[in-house]
Amino acid sequence: MLRGIKEIDYKLFMAYTREGTLDSLRVKAFDCLIDLDALRNRALAPFICYVIGNDPSPFVRRRVQKAFGRGLGMTAVGGQKPRDAPNGVAFGEMIIEDAGADNSGARKDELAKETIAGALAALKKELSEDAVMKKALWKATMFVGPEYLGYQSN
């Protein structure tokens, strides 16, 4: 899924995030979701924030919090890119650059993300435009129940 060989299927991992599943398996499922950019998903981001603030297992809360931080880091530097492909280009693709095109603005943004200050500025800009993430983070910090987030408790 990370390499684009198979289409991303969040449902595959969501089955393992439920309470009652072995904590280490739950944590791994959350790791996979976050690695697959679930923080940009309007339905999953609030759920992940809810788990960080309200899960009964301190182990799960802490590990999901760490994975969340890693996900924010990926967002700050431009998202998930395949590790062995330069500039996010998939295997078999080709880049054609126009020598006459003015790429200075895009290049400047890429260089800015290589510094901590630049990555933080990019993250702030990205999250300032994401109302769903802001709302989810606020609710997670308020330690509210699932009904407030729109989830039904069983």
> pLDDT by residue (tens digit) across 21-54?
999 999 999 999 999 988 888 889 889 988 998 8
- Nearest CA to 43 out of 12, 4, 5, 14 is that of 14
Find the radius of gyration of the CA atoms of the chain: 18
Residue 66 is encoded by which pair of tokens?
């760490």
Q: What pLDDT score was predicted for residue 62?
A: 94
Q: Is the whole-model pTM more than 0.75? A: no
**Average of per-residue pLDDT across 90-119:** 59
Q: How far apart are CA 130 and CA 139, in angstroms?
A: 15
Match 């979701």 to its residue by tokens.
Answer: 33
Average model confidence (pLDDT) across the chain: 76
Q: What pLDDT score was predicted for residue 10?
A: 93
- CA–CA–CA angle 131, 136, 138 (5° rounding): 95
C-beta separation of 80 from 31 below 8 A: no
pLDDT exceeding 90 applies to what percent of the chain? 29
24: helix, strand or coil: helix
H-helix or E-strand spanning residue 100: none
- Between the CA of residue 145 and those of 24, 26, 49, 80, 154, what are the distances in Å? 24, 20, 12, 31, 12
Q: Is pLDDT at 101 greater than 60 in this prediction?
A: no
Q: What pLDDT score was predicted for residue 82?
A: 39
Of residues 121 and 145, more confidence is placed in 121
Q: Is pLDDT at 115 greater than 50 in this prediction?
A: yes
Q: Which of 44-48, 50-54, 82-86, 130-134 has the lowest mean pLDDT?
A: 82-86
- Nearest CA to 27 out of 16, 43, 15 is that of 16
Residue 1 is encoded by which pair of tokens?
């899924």
N-terminal to C-terminal alpha carbon distance within the chain: 31
- CA–CA–CA angle 130, 71, 109 (5° rounding): 70
DSSP assignment letter at 56:
S
